[in-house]
Amino acid sequence: MSYEYKNPLERGYKKVKLSKKYHNKLFKGRQIKWSDKYDYYLKENNFIMHKTKNSLYIGLATILLPFICLLSLIECFDILKEYRSLFNQKKLGKHSSDGIGKNTDLLQKVKKYIR
């Protein structure tokens, strides 16, 4: 059985924005790092956030790939496999996803801060 990404927009979710400041304030265990990109989706009483690597991280990986392969000749094929997954993170399941369910205090706080 293979992984299949289901786009939240096709399931009735609406894409919303949440600033980095409020994200870090609300989700203490999920602080945004320089290499992270979050997509937020809201549907009535459900909230989903998907974390992927941002374009800056992918660009740096692209520039450094030849040097990394030269330094680790034995594991070059594994490195290339991981590198390819950066360009299709959601399709290949290389992202993380968290959700907030019905009527929790955190969901109410999120709804207050979304744009």
Which residue type sits at 100?
Answer: I
Above 70 in pLDDT, residue 50?
Answer: yes
Supply angle C-alpha 19, 32, 22, rounded to 5: 30
pLDDT at 2: 77
Q: Tell me the average pLDDT of the chain.
A: 88
pLDDT at 60: 94
Above 90 in pLDDT, residue 14?
Answer: yes
- The arithmetic mean of pLDDT across residues 73-84, rounded, is 80
Task: Point out which residues pair with 58 in neighbouring strands.
Answer: none
Q: Which of 8-12, 74-78, 79-83, 85-89 has the highest mean pLDDT?
A: 8-12
